[in-house]
Amino acid sequence: MTSIEVAVRRLPHAVDLDLPAYATPESAGMDLLAAVEAEVVLQPGERRLVPSGLAIALPAGYEAQVRPRSGLALKHGVTVLNAPGTVDADYRGEVGVILINLGQDPFVVTRGCRIAQLVVAAVGRAVWRPVEALEQSVRDTGGFGSTGLGDTRIGAAKGAAE
């Protein structure tokens, strides 16, 4: 595993909160905590930007992905709306988490509550090369659902669905 140094600044409303940390030696993500001053109640179907109280400076060539926590999703139906959210290397503002309650009951976000995961990942930059035609592949133009409609042969289900 590669380690990189990431500068992090605790904003005034998060000075007493822990920095994100890996829960186990093999964890890919670190938990982001809610830096709310008072409880925030997310009603079913409601979305809200929840502050983390952190600003970061990633090295060039990296991004931070804000991802849902599986326990919140399973137990409460609460997830990150734009998952994964991307924090670009040149962004210096507060990392926010857009939470949505897809569950049936109100969900209470409390100060220090683990609301999302943060995964730091290397990124590549695309350089477009315009062409007249693309190389064919086994899948070719098979789109949504074309690889999982019952028949294990690529394209077999495509013809049956038409």
Provide CB contacts within 8 A for 104, sequence distance 6+: 44, 77
pLDDT of residue 143: 80
Mean pLDDT over 14-41 rounds to: 97
Spatial distance between the Cα atoms of 149 and 43, rounded to a whole number of angstroms: 36
Sketch the domain layout of the chain as residue ranges: 7-122
Residues 33 and 115: beta-carbon distance below 8 Å: yes
Cα 132 off chain centre by:
35
| pLDDT band of 152, cuts 50, 70, 90 | low
Q: What is the pTM of this model?
A: 0.84
In order, the DSSP letters of 22-56 are BSSTT-S-EEEE---SS-EEE-TT-EEEEEEEEEE
| pLDDT band of 140, cuts 50, 70, 90 | confident
Pick the more confident residue, 57 or 145.
Answer: 57
Residue 68 CA: distances (Å) to CA of 75, 98, 140: 12, 10, 32
pLDDT of residue 1: 82
Residue 127 CA: distances (Å) to CA of 2, 60, 89, 132: 26, 17, 19, 16
| Right CATH for 7-122 from 2.60.40.1930, 2.70.40.10, 3.40.50.2300, 3.40.30.10 | 2.70.40.10
- The mean predicted confidence, pLDDT, of the chain is 92
Mean pLDDT over 104-110 rounds to: 98
Render pLDDT for 64-98 as a digit per residue (tens, 0 to 9): 999 999 999 999 999 999 999 999 999 999 999 99
